[in-house]
């Protein structure tokens, strides 16, 4: 067996929330601290113990959280070979409103005829498990780094990592434990090493991941595609699925029935079913759903409607007892929906302000929101607006829509219960293909974004992370 390629960490995801007891490890996972003096894990800044984390310095609490997560992962996997994680806290890219939380990945990948699938790349830790010995003794199998500046001025201001391990996360803070669980997952093998931009494989050899990617539009797995076909599949929204038996069998125990959708009933020119992203706030979408005329909010000189302030009388007439169409931008989704609700709207469609698809969900939380809301793509939203005969004096806008769900399939899976992978158009470097799709519900740890209902469990009925790793050989 020969080491062939160094893989650097390429995934920076934003996720949050947890709660679980730590079991006896079935694989030993050790943390290699590579921080310098008085930084990262060695930061001597005094802090009070928090949320089950007994550390009394910032560095001690960071290290305790890492060890806590290592124990969770160790209890869920089996291997006779210990796993070494090289870890550090460093200043990472950030602004006052957004930040890279961290990243992790396999440090090496291997292929050899003695592995279960010949001529296939395996991540370091998984290759060690399969062969039963450390292929490169003393060399870390995973490398991870996390943002040491998070919460400081200029770096997601006021939103530091929460270092407790009890899932009792204060508003505005980022749960380090869940972030670590997610990133460790990538380093253990929840990723492809094939280029999602070009479809090119490393040395023309597929990743073990690629054997289980199946595109419903092409009707074949990634390992049977050309480079061009793989590149097209990576931006084929909600058509790329995971074909591994462990995930497919477990999916009905984790995911709910009901894929969000928008149905346009009239006028004839735009009739049909459109992809929709559901809101994490307000009532759940249902079947048969909410059917009403739609009316557009227009409160900007360019003809768009942000609904970031209470609606004026003209816009209130447009949306009263209707489903309001508003545009994304400037303020939070809950603010837009609440303003439409206060004006008498019975539902909301948020139109994206940038091209691409599929439409992601609407994040946020506000118990005062009592009407359903969805998001649609910019292209689909423009179709809806063009179909409107909408003036304040019109009794009918001519656009009749239904916000509902398709109960014939699981949320985030295809008709065969194969779970969808994240394949947005345009491609998101470091995230596309190496995550579950955002349409999954319940929400999954290995989606690319924050969800408030995550737990520390990696297993069904709460999650589908371990079933996927078992599919690739864990």
Token pair recorded at residue 35: 């921080």
pLDDT digits (tens, 9 = 90+) for 89-146: 999 999 998 999 999 999 999 999 889 999 999 999 999 999 999 999 999 999 999 9
pLDDT digits (tens, 9 = 90+) for 233-249: 999 999 999 999 999 99
> If you average pLDDT over residues 348-355, what whole number do you get?
96
> If you average pLDDT over residues 407-432, what whole number do you get?
95
Question: According to the model, what pLDDT value does residue 25 have?
Answer: 53
Q: What is the CA radius of gyration of the chain?
A: 24
Q: What is the number of other CB atoms lying within 10 angstroms of the CB of residue 159?
A: 18
Question: According to the model, what pLDDT value does residue 217 have?
Answer: 97
CA distances from 166 to 59, 126, 169, 189 (A): 18, 30, 8, 27
> If you average pLDDT over residues 324-347, what whole number do you get?
97
Question: According to the model, what pLDDT value does residue 364 have?
Answer: 87
Would you call the peptide bond into 267 cis, given omega within 30 degrees of 0 as the criterion? yes
Lowest mean pLDDT among 99-113, 214-228, 381-395, 422-436: 381-395
Whether the predicted pLDDT of 18 surpasses 60: no
Lowest mean pLDDT among 19-28, 157-166, 284-293, 360-369: 19-28
Burial of 456 (0-12, 13-18, 19+ CB in 10 A): buried
Question: According to the model, what pLDDT value does residue 272 have?
Answer: 97
Question: According to the model, what pLDDT value does residue 113 have?
Answer: 86
Q: In the chain, what are the domain boundaries? A: 2-191, 258-410
Question: According to the model, what pLDDT value does residue 173 have?
Answer: 93
Confidence of residue 14 (pLDDT cuts 50, 70, 90): very low
CA distances from 25 to 67, 127, 416, 437, 473 (A): 12, 19, 34, 30, 18
Lowest mean pLDDT among 43-57, 102-116, 172-186, 440-454: 440-454
Q: How far apart are CA 375 and CA 358, in angstroms?
A: 10
Name the more confident of 7 and 450.
450
DSSP letter string, 218-249: TTEEGGGS-HHHHHHHTT-TTTEEE--HHHHH
What's the chain's average pLDDT? 92
Whether the predicted pLDDT of 2 surpasses 80: no
Whether the predicted pLDDT of 472 surpasses 70: yes
Name the more confident of 303 and 21.
303
- In the DSSP assignment, the letter for residue 470 is H
DSSP letter string, 30-79: EEEE---TTSGGG---B---BTTB--SBHHHHHHHHHHHHHHHHHHH---
Q: How far apart are CA 56 and CA 189, in angstroms?
A: 34
Confidence of residue 17 (pLDDT cuts 50, 70, 90): very low
Whether the predicted pLDDT of 1 surpasses 70: no
> If you average pLDDT over residues 22-29, what whole number do you get?
68
> If you average pLDDT over residues 412-433, what whole number do you get?
95
- Beta-bridge partners for 103: 145
> Is 194 within 8 Å of 222 (Cβ atoms)?
yes
Q: Say which CATH topology domain 258-410 has.
A: Glucose Oxidase; domain 1 (3.50.30)
Give the angle 213-217-221 at the CA atoms, nearest 5°. Answer: 25
Whether the predicted pLDDT of 8 surpasses 80: no
Question: According to the model, what pLDDT value does residue 370 have?
Answer: 98
Question: According to the model, what pLDDT value does residue 451 have?
Answer: 75
Question: According to the model, what pLDDT value does residue 11 have?
Answer: 26
> If you average pLDDT over residues 304-311, what whole number do you get?
98
From the list 427, 453, 423, 425, the residue with the least C-alpha distance to 438 is 423
The percent of residues in the chain predicted with pLDDT above 70, rounded, is 93
Question: According to the model, what pLDDT value does residue 280 have?
Answer: 87
The percent of residues in the chain predicted with pLDDT above 90, rounded, is 86
pLDDT digits (tens, 9 = 90+) for 134-186: 999 999 999 999 999 999 999 999 999 999 999 999 988 999 999 999 999 99
């Amino acid at each position: 067996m020969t080491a062939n390629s160094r893989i650097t960490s390429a995934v920076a995801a934003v996720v949050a929330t947890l709660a679980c007891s730590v079991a006896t490890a079935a694989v030993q996972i050790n943390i290699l601290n590579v921080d310098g003096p008085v930084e990262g894990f060695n930061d001597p800044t005094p802090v009070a113990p928090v949320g089950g984390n007994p550390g009394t310095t910032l560095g001690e609490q960071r290290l305790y959280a890492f060890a806590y997560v290592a124990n969770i992962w160790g209890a869920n996997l089996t291997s006779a070979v210990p796993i070494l994680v090289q870890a550090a806290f460093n200043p990472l890219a950030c602004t006052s409103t957004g930040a890279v939380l961290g990243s992790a990945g396999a440090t090496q990948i291997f292929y050899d005829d003695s592995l279960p699938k010949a001529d296939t790349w395996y991540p370091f830790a998984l290759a060690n498990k399969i062969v039963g010995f450390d292929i490169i003794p003393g060399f870390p199998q995973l490398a991870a780094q996390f943002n040491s500046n998070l919460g400081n001025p200029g770096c997601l201001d006021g939103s530091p990592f929460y270092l407790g391990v009890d899932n009792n996360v204060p508003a505005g803070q980022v749960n380090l434990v869940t972030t670590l669980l997610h990133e460790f997952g990538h380093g253990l093998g929840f990723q492809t090493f094939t280029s999602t931009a070009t479809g090119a494989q490393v040395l023309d050899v597929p990743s073990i991941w690629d054997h289980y990617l199946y595109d419903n539009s092409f009707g074949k797995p990634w390992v049977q595609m050309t480079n061009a076909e793989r590149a097209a599949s990576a931006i084929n929204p909600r058509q790329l699925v995971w074909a591994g038996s462990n995930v497919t069998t477990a999916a009905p125990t984790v995911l709910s029935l009901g894929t969000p959708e928008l149905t346009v009933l009239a006028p004839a020119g735009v009739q049909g079913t459109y992809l929709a992203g559901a809101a994490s706030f307000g009532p759940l979408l249902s079947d048969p759903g909410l059917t009403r005329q739609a009316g557009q909010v227009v409160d900007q000189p360019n003809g768009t409607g942000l609904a970031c302030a209470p609606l004026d009388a003209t816009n209130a007439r447009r949306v009263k007892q209707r489903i309001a169409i508003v545009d994304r931008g400037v303020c939070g989704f809950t603010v837009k929906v609440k303003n439409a609700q206060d004006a008498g709207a019975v539902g909301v469609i948020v139109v994206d302000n940038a091209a691409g698809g599929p439409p992601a969900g609407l994040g946020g939380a506000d118990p005062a929101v009592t009407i359903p809301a969805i998001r649609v793509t910019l292209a689909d939203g423009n179709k809806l607006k063009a179909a409107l005969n909408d003036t304040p004096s019109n009794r009918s806008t001519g656009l009749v829509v239904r916000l509902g769900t398709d109960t014939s399939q699981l949320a985030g899976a295809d008709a065969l219960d194969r779970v969808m992978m994240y394949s947005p158009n345009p491609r998101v470097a470091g995230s596309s293909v190496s995550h579950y799709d955002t349409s999954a519900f319940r929400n999954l740890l290995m989606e690319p974004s924050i969800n408030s209902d995550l737990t520390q469990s990696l297993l069904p009925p709460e999650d589908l992370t371990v079933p996927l790793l078992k599919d690739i050989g864990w």
